[in-house]
């Protein structure tokens, strides 16, 4: 196994720090098969907190209750959610941690058919894995999930679970309007059930846009 870790200076609120930027792992088995994993680290944040201590009998002011994200509905469990990926994904350059964007392919309705989110709303998520398998059959695996949905000008937190119907997921794994050619949907590894996994034939695959993903809302 060969591991390469790249560092770069990152500016945070409290100064500049040398932090990991990317990591690449290469595995060569005894049978000559090769595997490569790539990771990219981004969106580092510097969290700070302030505290105060008061003494005496001064009247205490009750803290205001924390408000939910603006426009965030109380998502019922089991609602159908369809999101089309709009960010290009190139297996040669994409890596785990990359930010992706998408658009709602259809409105989200509750059980009473009230619209909770309109068609075309912006979704933001992450790539969780981009792997190239060089052994036969040669294939590319992409794992992703969605984090937020833009509603009323503010991001609303999303808690989704992938559609587990392998046949229907495989049929929607091609860009919209194009014929699917050998795309597979597979179950994710343990502890990664919240992510959707797509497998494409060949040693390289480029998703220009329009990868159609299907989900259900889940309990927070």
Classify residue 77 as left (phi > 0), alpha (psi -120 to 50) or beta. Answer: beta
pLDDT under 50 in the chain at which residues? 63-71, 166-185
Indicate if 83 and 156 belong to the same structural domain.
Answer: yes
Provide the domain count of the chain: 2
Question: Is 23 within the bounds of a domain?
Answer: yes
Per-residue confidence (pLDDT) for residue 57, from 0 to 100: 58
Indicate if 101 and 187 belong to the same structural domain.
Answer: yes
Report d(CA 204, CA 84) in Å as an integer. 21
Range of the domain at 113: 75-220
Question: Is 32 within the bounds of a domain?
Answer: yes
Q: What is the pTM of this model?
A: 0.61
Question: Is 70 within the bounds of a domain?
Answer: no
Indicate if 79 and 148 belong to the same structural domain.
Answer: yes
Question: Is 38 within the bounds of a domain?
Answer: yes
Question: Is 86 within the bounds of a domain?
Answer: yes
Per-residue confidence (pLDDT) for residue 181, from 0 to 100: 47
Indicate if 169 and 99 belong to the same structural domain.
Answer: yes
Report d(CA 100, CA 127) in Å as an integer. 7
3-state secondary structure of 6: strand
The token pair that represents 198 in the structure block: 């797509």
Cβ atoms within 10 Å of 8's Cβ, excluding its own: 11
Question: Is 63 within the bounds of a domain?
Answer: no
Per-residue confidence (pLDDT) for residue 178, from 0 to 100: 46
3-state secondary structure of 15: strand
Indicate if 148 and 206 belong to the same structural domain.
Answer: yes
Eight-state DSSP code of residue 203: S
Per-residue confidence (pLDDT) for residue 182, from 0 to 100: 46
Report d(CA 166, CA 176) in Å as an integer. 18
Question: Is 143 within the bounds of a domain?
Answer: yes
Question: Is 136 within the bounds of a domain?
Answer: yes
Per-residue confidence (pLDDT) for residue 101, from 0 to 100: 96
Indicate if 163 and 79 belong to the same structural domain.
Answer: yes
Indicate if 16 and 87 belong to the same structural domain.
Answer: no
3-state secondary structure of 198: strand
CATH number (domain holding residue 82): 2.40.128
> Nearest 10 degrees: CA dihedral of 124, 84, 39, 30?
160
Per-residue confidence (pLDDT) for residue 95, from 0 to 100: 87
**E-assigned strand segments in 88-168:** 89-90, 99-104, 108-109, 115-117, 122-133, 139-151, 154-157, 160-162
């Amino acid at each position: 196994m060969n591991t390469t870790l790249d560092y770069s200076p990152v500016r945070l609120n409290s100064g500049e720090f040398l932090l990991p930027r990317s990591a690449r792992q290469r595995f060569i088995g005894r049978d000559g098969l090769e595997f490569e994993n790539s990771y990219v680290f981004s969106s580092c944040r510097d969290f700070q907190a302030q505290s105060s201590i008061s003494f005496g009998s001064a009247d205490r002011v009750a803290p205001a209750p924390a408000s939910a994200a603006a426009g965030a509905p109380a998502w019922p469990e089991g609602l159908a959610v369809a999101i089309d990926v709009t960010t290009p994904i190139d297996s040669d350059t994409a890596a785990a941690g990359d930010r992706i964007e998408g658009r709602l392919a259809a409105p989200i309705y509750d059980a009473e058919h009230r619209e909770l989110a309109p068609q075309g709303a912006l979704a933001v998520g992450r790539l969780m894995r981009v792997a190239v398998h060089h052994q036969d059959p040669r294939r590319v695996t992409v794992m992703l999930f969605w984090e937020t949905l833009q509603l009323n000008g503010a991001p609303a937190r999303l808690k989704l679970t992938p559609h587990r119907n392998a046949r229907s997921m495989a049929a929607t794994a091609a860009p919209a309007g194009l014929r699917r050619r050998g795309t597979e949907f597979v179950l994710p590894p343990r502890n990664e059930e919240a992510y959707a996994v797509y497998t494409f034939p060949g040693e390289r695959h480029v998703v220009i846009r329009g990868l159609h993903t299907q989900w259900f809302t889940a309990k927070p």
